[in-house]
Structure 1
């Protein structure tokens, strides 16, 4: 059955673009049977392609800039060359295919051989991952070996970074301006007054796996239980939170805090500079702000979702940003 707008939950960007087109008198052209993952916008003889999911939603981001930003190791290299503060990032390969095409010393065997000499805890994630997939705190050498065994069948490259204990912010940059910021909370479970913690944890992992994302490991659940003095069989009180450290995204129960359109000057300047260094027009820049010291870039997302804006009820701002992006893209296409 071909999905239609009435039978399929459209992605965030598809919904916003349809609304903007209706308001601006532009033509929205469906290109995938109403699923919302590929469409075009037409006006005054100009046409631009847009999409959702794996497609970069923003037509003002070039293919080169988007592809580089998807690669966390490449992004770190560009930021380093630009002299911008960022989290140190090591690239490692966890599969042996195409080994002859790369310099030696960055293979899984090399990483495992030096595991005992590393400083822990550290943070590991796929080099081209998203939505917190396999983004985990690694406590020790045994934990690193376990992580490599679990991730190898799914991802071919990982990055390793030092664990930074600091507030994390997302700054949204469009057209050289920092448009808004919000803090990113740790993921976690929220009680409903009916289910026990074990059932809530199982439901979270079932949803993650249904979305093709890695489950939260049992150790984080056990640590969260200990933090609030609870047992797996305890009923989770309505609104009660159980922290799941490591992932700060909506998929694992994280949420935006302190949303504002008046961006902190230091965060905004760093986000704008990082976006420009990568040649992007639209970016969601994740930044750590240590209590003592200067902010540093964690990641630059070249295809940021508007789901946080929607969850905050900031749909007018989302539509204003989309109107700006599409207007400039259409003007360039004429």
Structure 2
């Protein structure tokens, strides 16, 4: 009697944009015998009338994917973002491996929470303040100016270097803090470049291990590639790897892009941010191995180790009108 062919691994790639990154992940999944289907979390729905799990994911009918890769979550209202994250929480609760998990993404997206967790873990990071009080925020600027420091104002939720502003005692003179459109101020001590042009490092951590690094070089104090910085190959030193791995672990991330800044102070390396939905196109240009394949291999070999692809139980199968196949 011939055995049935094993069903291919089906992975949902959650992304609000289809492009280079999603194509790279799909290609890497095909190399592992799987299929990657791109889904916008905004198109996922809760519908408890359709099946025992109560979720509707485009392209999966009444079944669930075997795993989920979170590539991006679109901005939206509080209610919209809450539902999108709720779908990820629900998938995890239903036994579907989610990579990165919703709770870890929440920690990394909220810069205030990131700063708290890094500080609590004893990881070097610039002094940071988050407040809804304009008066307290301005007092921070005055205190920092008295000690010779400028301050960077950042959006609490933001990426790619957008919305950053140098305030307080800047090299070009005093810049007052403007009113925040959302009533919230996230402030971080400015670390001036040690040379011109300045740089920081982006370190990629996969499965708890730092695997690649690059220098992001720019004459401007913002070093994001999206803001015009150039990518240069960089040695992944033990010091860089150690601080990046510690930062990723502090937030509970499966993979992370950790931004590390050189500093003239007693702590020569400081973590600025930790990205839980990190892009890697710039890093791939200066890295010899296939990053997307390394990401997918970690999902399959570590995150899904010992897990059979999702199958409905007998009760679920009866409801879904499919032939049941038990988990291994």
Q: 1:132 aligns with which of 147, 161, 171?
A: 161
Work out whether residues 40 and 48 of structure 1, in 8 Å CA contact, stay in contact via their aligned partners in 2.
no
* 2:43 is equivalent to residue 54 of structure 1: no
Q: 2:263 aligns with which of 267, 270, 290?
A: 290
Q: 1:108 aligns with which of 134, 149, 157?
A: 134
Find the counterpart in structure 1 of residue 117 from structure 2.
78
Residue ranges of structure 1 left out of the alignment (5+ in a row): 1-7, 94-106, 187-242
The 1-side partners of 2:207 and 2:36 are apart by 23
Alpha-carbon offset, residue 116 of structure 1 = 4.6
* 2:176 is equivalent to residue 144 of structure 1: yes
Q: Residues 72-221 of structure 1: matches in 2 within 5 Å? A: 72-93=111-132, 107-112=133-138, 115-116=141-142, 118-119=144-145, 120-140=149-169, 143-145=175-177, 148-149=178-179, 152-153=180-181, 155-166=182-193, 167-186=199-218
TM-score (norm 1): 0.63
The 2-side partners of 1:20 and 1:116 are apart by 51
* 2:226 is equivalent to residue 251 of structure 1: yes
Cα distance change, pair 14–315 in 1 and its aligned pair in 2 (3 A):
farther
The 2-side partners of 1:306 and 1:40 are apart by 27
Cα distance change, pair 118–178 in 1 and its aligned pair in 2 (3 A):
closer
Work out whether residues 12 and 306 of structure 1, in 8 Å CA contact, stay in contact via their aligned partners in 2.
no
* 2:286 is equivalent to residue 302 of structure 1: no
Alpha-carbon offset, residue 130 of structure 1 = 0.9
Higher helix share: 1
Larger relative contact order, structure 1 or 2 (CA cutoff 8 Å, min sep 6): 1
SS in 2 for 1:49: strand
TM-score (norm 2): 0.64
Alpha-carbon offset, residue 175 of structure 1 = 1.1
Alpha-carbon offset, residue 183 of structure 1 = 1.1
Cα distance change, pair 115–170 in 1 and its aligned pair in 2 (3 A):
closer
SS in 2 for 1:331: coil
Once the two structures are superposed, what CA deviation does each residue of 1:150-179 show, in whole Å capped at 9, x if it has no partner? xx23x4433212211244211111112110
* 2:74 is equivalent to residue 66 of structure 1: no
The 2-side partners of 1:83 and 1:25 are apart by 41
Q: Residues 5-16 of structure 1: matches in 2 within 5 Å? A: 10-16=18-24
Q: Larger C-alpha radius of gyration, 1 or 2?
A: 2
The 2-side partners of 1:130 and 1:40 are apart by 29
SS in 2 for 1:80: helix
Question: Cα RMSD between the aligned structures?
Answer: 3.3
The 2-side partners of 1:30 and 1:164 are apart by 39
The 1-side partners of 2:161 and 2:37 are apart by 32
Q: Which runs of 4+ in 1 moved over 6 A?
A: 38-41, 55-58
